């Protein structure tokens, strides 16, 4: 990820697009599904959709990777805005864990810390909250799960957390006592101090005896509040040698964002605390990792909080028995131009440790390794001589080829780069050959790490499949050519010819730091235009081959950002509303531009999809129309539209002057409007309480009008909706397990596949869904593959637990375990209810029910179950007065043991 992410990822948020009430986690609530609560005859019908990501693989900053210390192959990753993930060893993929976070709780997709319980590996915790300033209206929370993140419960905190704030790569701030796992500690920002839970994360209170809440801020003068926040308490580490099972660990170390007083210790299980004597000063302690076998606390220091900044750094070793501090830095401080952050110990070979120069942007990051407790070091690459490099590793990015960035750098730079913002670094505690590390764009790893020590090369490759962390600004699905073209922050955008494969390269020539707007000519889909941000260079680009290749246009004077852009219906002209300059139009490919009249700067522009001379604009409640190719605009007499600028609208393909407009803000006009007369008047759709995006897809088999999609609140329910009858009725097509936080940037259907919809998320990449309705299904452009036929006919065990219950419904969690010797490649579990129970929603699986009989099949990510491993799913269901538990479960024709 590039430096722009910290601020660009919140521009839309700060503009007031996000509204909502108090936090309410949607992952595993005790309440019924909203659709089930809708009144009889409501427009809220339901459809079963299969949801996947259009594969990009990565695309964002991964600041934390956590391996469980007691169970092999159990690992988690946290992202700054895209939730948390669990590693799936059988498929070498990551499973998303926080897709259930809803619209009102969008901030809980930012994970500032994560902890995996070393005593009970089924338990995992996430400290969630994206911003500590007013960009996020809600407080943070600690989410807790007893099923490895399949479902969550939430403990609200009385302050905010900052998963996407400065210092987010330090940590981990959340830690579980390895001897008494009901005890957890949480280091907090903003001067809120150290907090503790003694009931497995259900409730939290401040450790008032802790003496120092931190004092470091990246920029105390920042008026936005983003960079001036106190980064607070940044890591907690237990010395497990000072406790016994069932009793709280006696010695605890805590890192604080304070350059003079960075490390504190308690030797009485957190009752009293003191500054560790003799510690170095002048730097921030990014990480603290304890090797209890040798009695060494290793600390990575930087002069800044990261993840972008850091000019000097040191590595220190503290002897816990003697109190001796030793500088073990691999290079002299005068030779550093970076700080240290990534830090890990090989648990199978104590004394072997690794660290990263996280803020070495040029020519590359650096990774250091020591096998003698830091006395001597080797590094991943050296000059041989400058500017040439000799690497100890080889890189294979064939699975994610865009990681080359299309670059052709001069030495000493190389492509692909080893990384940047490398604050997450972990050696697998069970396998010294496996190491993973996070960068600003991906997760890299190796499975032959110990080659390093024998002076033979080891292979680094992406270990990121399933982890999708792009923030999406715009999406288009042309009627021919690629089924999907996207505009993204940080990595620019992609042309997907197959949704199931990673594109070979992001958009280049130019390579925007973020694409802000996309369009194509409706009757000439090979003509595509994009606008975006770039530190220096043009802000607009064109393609004449459906986005496969690009060439830059020329900016009008004053342009500072991409803004919005529209292509005429036949591609003969374009209208552009860039940042820093007024609206402009051209009849060529952007070699010269003329100012448009009659429309204010900053207006959102779109084109009519039939008349190549007609363009539209919207600004501050007024709709504008041009019929001369964008040269002049006239304000429409339409009234009642949203007064602010949180609006997205589109013209319907194939119907001149047919326009749908979504947007607004709480407290004002907010909803979905429709015009059939070129924007001269609009009719507000009844029942649509709020709407933020609108898009069109192929008409239903029995319909003449195209399918309309929106991210909206309809009849009091937030979700992704579809209408096949011009908005008279709506079907919610997502469910509470698939919400993805904020989905207000873009949505579009596919003109070639009925029911298919592409949804832009703010950190979970491009999500697409396919319907189970008649007409849905696969096509040659990368459709949803059917689940593999279940194969397991071997031994199994099932745990069925009712986790919540109310008068006419309940929630349950099911875990099926492979107790046989062979790997399952797909599974299908069946049982029957005795009391008329009916499943209403199910997550982490796909279900059917016929009478009392229920069948649940795996999803695409949890079908591979190794011997001894498990897969889990949850559901809500209706019930009568009784709710008898099923007593028999069958998998592949064989009865399972019920535990």
Q: 3-class SS at 240?
A: helix
239 is catalytic: no
520 in Cβ contact with 528 (< 8 Å): yes
Q: Which residues contact 610 (CB under 8 A, 6 or more apart)?
A: 522, 569, 653, 654, 655, 656, 657
DSSP 613-662: T-EEEEETTEEEEESSTTSB-EE----S--SSS-EEEEEPTTSTT-EEEE
Give CA separation, 362 vs 377, 380, 418, 439, in Å.
21, 15, 11, 14
Q: What is the C-alpha to C-alpha distance for residues 395 and 840, in angstroms, rounded to an integer?
A: 47
How many other CB atoms sit within 10 Å of the CB of residue 637?
A: 10
- Residues 640-657: b if buried by 16+ CB within 10 A, e if exposed: ebbebbbbbbbbbbeeeb
Task: Please classify residue 884 by burial: count the beta carbons closer than 10 Å to its beta carbon, then call 0-12 exposed, 13-18 middle and 19+ buried.
Answer: exposed
Report which DSSP code applies to 630: T
Biggest CA-to-CA distance, the chain: 82
Query: Position of tokens 């990510």?
Result: 861
Q: Which residues contact 707 (CB under 8 A, 6 or more apart)?
A: 696, 697, 698, 699, 700, 722, 723, 724, 749, 754, 755
Residue of 99, 346, 490, 770 marked active site: 490
Among residues 300, 351, 304, the alpha carbon closest in space to that of 330 is found at 300
80 is catalytic: yes
Q: What is the C-alpha to C-alpha distance for residues 26 and 31, in angstroms, rounded to an integer?
A: 9
Q: What is the C-alpha to C-alpha distance for residues 870 and 864, in angstroms, rounded to an integer?
A: 9
Identify any residues that bridge with 263 across adjacent strands, giving them in sequence order: 255
Query: Position of tokens 């902890």?
Result: 115
User: What percent of the chain is helix, strand and coil (3-state, nearest 5)?
Assistant: 5, 40, 60
Give CA separation, 391 vs 56, 278, 382, 417, 541, in Å.
27, 37, 7, 12, 37
Q: What is the C-alpha to C-alpha distance for residues 337 and 335, in angstroms, rounded to an integer?
A: 7
Residues with a catalytic annotation lie at: 80, 490
């Amino acid at each position: 990820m590039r430096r722009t992410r910290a601020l660009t990822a919140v521009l839309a948020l700060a503009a007031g697009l996000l509204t909502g009430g108090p936090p309410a986690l949607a992952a595993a609530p005790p309440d019924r599904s909203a659709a089930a609560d809708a009144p009889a005859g409501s427009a809220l019908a339901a459809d079963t959709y299969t949801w996947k990501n259009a594969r990009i693989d990565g695309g964002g900053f991964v600041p934390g990777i956590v391996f469980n210390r007691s169970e092999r192959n159990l690992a988690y990753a946290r992202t700054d805005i895209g939730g948390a993930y669990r590693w799936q060893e059988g498929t070498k993929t990551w499973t998303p864990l926080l897709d259930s976070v809803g619209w009102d709780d969008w901030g809980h997709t930012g994970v500032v810390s994560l902890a995996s319980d070393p005593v009970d590996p089924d338990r995992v915790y996430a400290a969630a909250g994206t911003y500590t300033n007013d960009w996020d209206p809600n407080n943070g929370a600690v989410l807790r799960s007893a099923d490895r993140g399949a479902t969550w419960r939430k403990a609200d905190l009385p302050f905010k957390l900052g998963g996407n704030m400065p210092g987010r790569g330090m940590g981990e701030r959340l830690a579980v006592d390895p001897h008494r796992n009901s005890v957890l500690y949480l280091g907090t920002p903003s001067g809120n101090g150290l907090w503790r839970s003694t009931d497995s994360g259900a409730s939290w209170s401040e450790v008032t005896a802790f003496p120092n809440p931190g004092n470091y801020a990246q920029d105390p003068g920042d008026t936005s509040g983003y960079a001036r926040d106190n980064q607070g308490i940044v890591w907690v580490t237990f010395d497990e040698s000072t406790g016994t099972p069932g009793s709280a660990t006696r010695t605890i170390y805590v890192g604080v964002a304070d350059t003079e007083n960075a490390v504190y210790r308690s030797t009485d299980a957190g009752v009293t605390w003191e500054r560790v004597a003799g510690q170095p000063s002048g730097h921030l302690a990014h990480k603290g990792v304890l090797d209890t076998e040798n009695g060494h606390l290793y600390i990575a220091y930087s002069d800044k909080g990261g993840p972008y900044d850091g000019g000097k750094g040191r590595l220190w070793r503290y002897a816990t028995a003697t109190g001796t501090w030793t500088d073990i830095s691999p290079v002299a401080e005068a030779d550093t131009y970076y700080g240290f952050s990534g830090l890990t110990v090989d648990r199978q070979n104590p004394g072997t440790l690794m660290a990263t120069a996280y803020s070495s942007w040029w020519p590359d990051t650096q990774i250091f390794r020591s096998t003698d407790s830091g006395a001597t070091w080797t590094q991943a690459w050296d000059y041989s001589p400058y500017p040439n490099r000799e690497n100890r590793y080889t890189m294979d990015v064939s699975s994610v080829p865009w990681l080359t960035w299309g670059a052709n750098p001069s030495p000493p730079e190389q492509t692909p780069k080893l990384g940047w913002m490398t604050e997450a670094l972990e050696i697998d505690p069970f396998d010294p050959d496996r190491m993973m590390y996070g960068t600003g764009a991906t997760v890299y790893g190796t499975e032959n790490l110990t080659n390093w020590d024998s002076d033979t090369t080891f292979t680094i490759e992406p270990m990121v499949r399933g982890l999708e962390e792009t923030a999406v600004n715009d999406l288009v699905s042309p009627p021919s050519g690629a089924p999907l073209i996207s505009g993204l922050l940080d990595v620019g955008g992609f042309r997907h010819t197959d949704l199931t494969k990673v594109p070979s390269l992001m958009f280049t020539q130019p390579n925007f730091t973020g694409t802000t707007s996309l369009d194509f000519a409706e009757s000439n889909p090979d003509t595509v235009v994009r606008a975006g941000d770039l530190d220096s260079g043009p802000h607009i680009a064109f393609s004449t081959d459906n986005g496969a290749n690009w060439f830059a246009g020329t900016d009008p004077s004053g342009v500072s950002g991409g803004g919005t852009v529209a292509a005429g219906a036949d591609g003969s002209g374009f209208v552009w509303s860039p940042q820093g300059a007024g609206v402009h139009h051209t009849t060529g490919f952007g070699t010269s531009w003329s100012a448009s009249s009659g429309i204010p700067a900053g207006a959102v522009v779109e084109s009519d999809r039939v008349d190549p001379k007609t363009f539209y604009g919207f600004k501050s409640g007024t709709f504008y129309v041009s019929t001369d190719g964008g040269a002049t605009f006239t304000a429409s007499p339409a009234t009642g539209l949203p007064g602010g600028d949180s609006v997205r609208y589109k013209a319907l393909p194939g119907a001149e002057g047919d326009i749908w407009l979504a947007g607004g803000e709480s407290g004002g006009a907010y909803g979905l409007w429709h015009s059939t007369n070129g924007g001269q008047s609009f009719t507000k759709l009844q029942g649509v309480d709020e709407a933020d995006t609108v898009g069109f897809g192929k008409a239903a088999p029995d319909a003449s009008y195209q399918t309309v999609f929106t991210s909206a609140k309809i009849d009091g329910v937030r979700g992704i909706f579809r209408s096949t009858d011009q908005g008279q009725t709506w079907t919610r097509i997502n469910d509470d397990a698939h919400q993805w936080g904020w989905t207000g940037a873009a949505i579009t259907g596919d003109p070639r596949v009925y029911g298919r919809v592409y949804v832009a998320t703010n950190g979970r990449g491009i999500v697409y869904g396919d319907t189970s309705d008649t007409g849905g299904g696969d096509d040659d452009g990368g459709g949803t593959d059917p689940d593999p036929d279940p194969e397991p006919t071997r031994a199994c065990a099932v745990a069925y637990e009712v986790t919540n219950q109310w008068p006419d419904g309940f929630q349950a969690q099911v875990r099926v375990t492979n107790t046989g010797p062979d790997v399952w490649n797909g599974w299908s579990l069946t049982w029957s209810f005795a009391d008329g129970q009916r499943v209403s929603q199910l997550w982490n699986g796909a279900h059917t029910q016929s009478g009392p009989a229920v069948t649940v099949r795996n999803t695409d990510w949890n079908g591979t179950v190794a011997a001894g491993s498990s897969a889990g799913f949850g559901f809500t269901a209706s019930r009568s007065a009784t709710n008898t538990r099923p007593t028999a479960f069958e998998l592949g024709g064989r009865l399972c043991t019920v535990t």
